[in-house]
Amino acid sequence: MNSKINVSVLGATGIVGQNYLRLLADHPWFQIVDVAASPRSAGKIYIEAVNENWLMTGEIPSSMKELVVRDVQDFESIPENVYCIFSAMDLPEKEETRKLEFEYAKAGYPIISNSSANRWTKDVPMIIPEINPDHANVIPIQQKNRNLPKTGFVAVKPNCSIQSYLVTLTALEEVGFPVNQVQVTTLQALSGGGQATITSPDMQENVIPFIGGEEEKTENEPLKILGQISDTEIKNTDRIDISATCTRVPVIDGHTAVVNIRFKNDKPSLDEIKSIWSNFKGLPQTEKFPMAPERPIIYFDEENRPQPKLDRDLEKGMAVTVGRLEEDKFFDVRYVALSHNTIRGAAGGAILMAELLVKKGYIHGK
């Protein structure tokens, strides 16, 4: 690219927003020139708004410390040179968030969102770039359906709970081994619930066997991601059934999943599966996107891997690490998988999606 695309980050003071600032600080394609948050932070410079609540390793990027925080509802103060918006903003009601995202789209901005508010909006793409990059093709349909300007649209990143296992299924399906039944148990990190969950006394030396809404997201979002685009919307697939149990465990970062799968037809050998995973490459790898992991799936032969402390940061926090592949008594095979929930599952995954949309011509600068 000849010059960087100037971007804004909504919800810049929270965990995901902070991760955006950290990951975009030296990004070769994007440059943050605007940050926005709730009214209580508006008008302050960023370093004052965050104060002692900076949760990332290292200091706040120097180029962003003095940015004045804009009220997320203030459209008049958006710098004229902003051409893309990353959103880590969730308003108190989902309908408010949906409306806000489309207000930005109507103003001509591409919105790359981490919120769940528009994940089930049928003409909004929900993209994992290694799995369904073609779903970007619904953007012109969305713009037509909603009379949006040619530069404005909403695209969303899926829930962090599915990042650790869905790409492993896609790798198998792409070489002729479709999966039709999945049982998954997630062991989800505290950061997925925000700062309040990280500091909650209830999470000390404890496991919470329920996370509101997570099982529905884990079971249903893959159906849209694996679906097909019609003339007006994305239609969910019916070729796979997923059953999920989602738990919260006392780990700061890194969602682990215990996965049991049954193949629809032929069953590959364990060695074949390992080879398929190790050789898997998606569009981000072949096109060498800046945020793309060189190895999207990394398999460990050690019996005690993957582990969040050891493996969540591999490939810039963007790899899915897998281990303990074995034959199963009730399903065909089972394994353990891991992904970094606030990088691959949040800000990093959204940045990778934005890179895809730049490549496809939906996001551009001047």
User: Does residue 155 sit in the same domain as residue 177?
Assistant: no
Query: Any idea what the CATH number is for the domain that residue 312 is in?
Result: 3.30.360.10
Tally Cβ neighbours within 10 Å of residue 43: 12
Give the DSSP letter of residue 109: -
pLDDT digit string, tens, across residues 27-56: 999 999 999 999 999 999 999 999 889 989
CA distances from 95 to 113, 121, 155 (A): 14, 11, 16
Same domain flag for 53 and 130 = yes
Q: CA–CA separation, 352 vs 20, rounded Å?
A: 12
CA distances from 252 to 198, 318, 347 (A): 7, 17, 16
Whether residue 169 sits in one domain with residue 257? yes
Q: Are 110 and 155 in contact (CB under 8 A)?
A: yes
| Residues 48 and 117 both lie in one domain | yes
Domain-located, residue 258: yes
Q: What is the DSSP letter of 208?
A: B
Both 221 and 305 in one domain: the answer is yes
- Say if 365 falls within a structural domain: no
Residue 293 sits in the same domain as residue 167? yes
Do 149 and 106 fall within a single domain?
yes
Domain count, the chain: 2
Question: Which amino acids are annotated catalytic?
Answer: 160, 255
99 and 35 within one domain: yes
What pLDDT, on the 0 to 100 scale, is given for residue 146? 98
Domain range for 42 is 5-159+347-359
In a domain, 366, yes or no: no
- Considering the domain architecture, whether residues 127 and 192 belong to the same structural domain is answered as no
Task: Give domain status of residue 98, yes or no.
Answer: yes
Please tell me whether residues 194 and 117 are part of one structural domain.
no
pLDDT at 2: 66
Task: Give percent of the chain above pLDDT 90.
Answer: 96
pLDDT of 170: 97
pLDDT at 1: 61
- pLDDT, one tens digit per residue, over 47-98 is 999 988 998 989 999 999 999 999 999 999 999 999 999 999 999 999 999 9
* Residue 182 maps to a domain: yes
Neighbours of 210 (CB within 10 A): 10
Work out the average pLDDT over 189-208. 94
Residues 313 and 282 in one domain: yes
The answer to the question of residue 254 being in a domain is yes
Both 80 and 220 in a single domain?
Answer: no
Q: CATH number for the domain including 105? A: 3.40.50.720
Q: Does residue 351 belong to any structural domain of this protein?
A: yes
CA 6/CA 206 separation, integer angstroms: 43
Q: Does residue 95 belong to any structural domain of this protein? A: yes
